[in-house]
Amino acid sequence: ADHAHTKVTKENYKATERDDAAHISYLKQDIDYDAKHGHSDEKMTADEKHISKLAGDMKYDKKHHGSAMHLHDEFTRKNNIDHK
């Protein structure tokens, strides 16, 4: 999947969250492997930056598509509230 172009919605939020968490786990394992085998600090730093970006994406997605937002949308729809 092309993660950079996948639009997160409330419908795919949970799958996206799982995918990002798995990606972070893989990157952490890669950093540990690189550290144990004397690989470049530059590569480990790139992996760490990628982890930070994914974590930021997850935080943003949770705020905009997570369960609290879903509950708000349900409440708004059930009560015919228009926020325009």
DSSP string, 14-26: HHHHHHHHHHHHH
Is the pLDDT reported for residue 9 higher than 60?
yes
Q: Which residue, chain included where needed, has tokens 């004397």?
A: 38
Cβ proximity of 43 and 34 under 8 Å: yes
Rounded Cα distance, 24 and 21, in Å: 5
* Residue 13 to residue 15: CA distance in whole angstroms: 6
Q: Is-above-0.75 flag for pTM?
A: no
Which of 4-13, 20-29, 51-60, 68-77 is predicted least confidently? 68-77
**Cα(81)–Cα(70) distance, rounded to whole angstroms?**
15
